Amino acid sequence: MFSGSYDKTVQVWDIATLENKACLTGHSSAVRALVASPHRVFSGSDDATIKVWDASTLTCLKTLSGHDDNVRVLAASDRF
């Protein structure tokens, strides 16, 4: 499970043990949106960026910019 916060991080939780497993950093403002697919996690932030994370290694693969304001909603589809 993944959770985003005003502390600018994405926390990674083990759903079996409910223990915190990792903390993903890189956003410069609150994380307001998250969506996960089988191989990627996407986080949207008040810093107007979307970060693309590898779901296995938990490393940031890319930062997407292009919004002029907060990113508050994300959706993923295997078609795009």
Is a pLDDT exceeding 90 seen at residue 77? no
Q: How far apart are CA 29 and CA 32, in angstroms?
A: 9
Q: How far apart are CA 47 and CA 20, in angstroms?
A: 25
Residue 50: count of CB within 10 angstroms of its CB:
20
Is a pLDDT exceeding 80 seen at residue 27? yes
Average per-residue pLDDT for the chain: 96
Give the model's pLDDT for residue 79: 76
The pTM of this model reads 0.93
